[in-house]
A and B are shown apart, each in its own frame.
Chain A
Amino acid sequence: MLEVSVFFFRVAKLYCSVEARCAHRKFSSKELSSMNSLIRNTSRCLRLGAACSLPRQAEGRVWVASTRRFCAASDLQKDLGDMVKKDKVVVFMKGTPAQPMCGFSNAVVQILRMHGVDDYAAYNVLADEALREGVKVFSNWPTIPQVYFNGEFVGGCDILLQMHQNGDLVEELKKLGVQSALLDDEKDSK
């Protein structure tokens, strides 16, 4: 709720600053369009019952969807579609990469770390019950963690581990344009 309050305060502040500045200069159509879009989205969220999710960046590349629980389920499914495509590597896990709260989620984090993948979106399902249930429906997969590469569902911990052990993960990362650190290690050792 704190994030919601902060967001609305910022919207109000922006709107006030717009009002204050209106008297002094004209806004371009692009500026007005983005301001209108911001206000429209806020109104839309209010109509739906509460604020929409407000991703905030913490611990580098960890996105915490902590206020998503108030959004309609259909909006969440649509948002998940965007979330899995926004980044090359997306992980839905328990806890965060810095502090995993589940051994299986931790295994996924460790594997990605071993391959030098440190730029990925990690969503903490323990912080958002609606996200936790919504992602299971979205992926048609009953457990957490869940891994996506380029918007495509890869699997959970078992599958990622298997891919790591048989070398498939290096190939899949290459397709994403990511050079596995293990390849660099092999090259250095030769």
Chain B
Amino acid sequence: MAVRNSHGPMLASILRCSRPIRFARAVHMDPARPVEGAITSKLTAAFQPEHLEVSNESHAHAVPPGSESHFRVLVVSERFSGLSPLQRHRLVNEALKEELSTRVHALAIQAKTPEQWRLDPNVAKSPPCMGGSRGDVTMEDKLKAGQ
């Protein structure tokens, strides 16, 4: 069933995928970015992914520069085969339980099987920040957790 997406420029920009991916991006483990490293290693261990992307999107949100609070992950793994989107996301949440309860404030997830990835090798785009983290006292705790 075709779905029209003609309403709202903001939502339209989300619905348009940001970029086609033609090669597997190398994963860098940077000691200056421990949370990103932890997310990468835990997702690799849990899913043995065919393709994995971990993007720190904190710079696009109302948090101090250098924060590791907002992430987007794309996991392509055969382990998701036969699972509903909710089940897949719960597995990812479980793998990153520690990070989500401490330092990570927001996590956008795309969980695809290798076949789905081959049919649609695009990474979704996060919606623009609306400033919710500004003045959010729980954010202070999360940001301090890494110090």
Contact = CB atoms under 8 A, between A and B. Distances in A.
B64 interface: no
A114 interface: yes
Q: Is the interface of A mostly helix, strand, loop or mixed?
A: helix
Contacts of B4: 182, 185-186
Contacts of B108: 104, 157-158
A164 B11 CA distance: 11
Tier of interface size on chain A = 35 or more
B106 interface: yes
B123 interface: no
Interface stretch (B19-27, B40-48, B124-132): B124-132
A117 to B, nearest CB: 13
A110 B14 CA distance: 11
A154 B86 CA distance: 7
A110 B11 contact: yes
Given A100-B130, A157-B108, A106 B10 contact: yes
Interface string B77-98: 0000000011001100100010
12 contacts: A101-B130, A101-B131, A103-B126, A114-B7, A129-B138, A141-B90, A142-B107, A153-B86, A155-B86, A159-B85, A161-B15, A167-B2
Interface of B: 1-5, 7-8, 10-11, 14-15, 85-86, 89-90, 93, 97, 100-101, 105-110, 124, 126-132, 136, 138
